[in-house]
Amino acid sequence: MWVVNLVFSVLADALATALAALAMLAMWALLAIAQIMGTGRLGQSYGKHLVGIAVVSTHTGRPVGSPAAFGRGIVQSIGMYVFGLGVLWILWDPQRQGWHDKAVSSIVVRTSTAQRLDPVAYVRAIFAAR
């Protein structure tokens, strides 16, 4: 009988671990999607919105789009692993652009902080933007 209890105990622990890992993976995926779509469509992640900055194209002055926001995030991650040099580049660059900005021709600008959106309204704005 103890063998059956042991098997069920191990299976229950494995199932709980798998479900926790799946939930965490889903959470990371949703956060990444919100970051990419927010930056691509609105020019702002929710954090950038709260601080009052936005990422815009150097060519059009409009948000860079989701594919460019995805590429920007990839290059930003790579720049962080090269001794942080890709991000520190901002300190001495005349246009204040990091490697991630140069890669997708974007620049970070200050925005109006007059209207603060709550998180739900922010998500609605992402899907309403074109």
Q: Quick: pLDDT tens for 66-87.
A: 999 999 999 999 999 988 999 9
- Which residues have C-beta within 8 Å of that of residue 52, sequence separation ≥ 6? 110, 111, 112, 113
What distance in Å separates the CA atoms of residue 50 and residue 53, rounded to the nearest whole number? 8
pLDDT for residue 3 is more than 80: no
Task: Tell me the pTM.
Answer: 0.80
What distance in Å separates the CA atoms of residue 43 and residue 51, rounded to the nearest whole number? 13
What distance in Å separates the CA atoms of residue 27 and residue 100, rounded to the nearest whole number? 24
Instruction: Give residue 5's pLDDT band: very low, low, confident or very high (50, 70, 90).
Output: confident
Contact 101, 108 (CB under 8 A): yes
pLDDT for residue 12 is more than 90: no
pLDDT for residue 54 is more than 90: yes
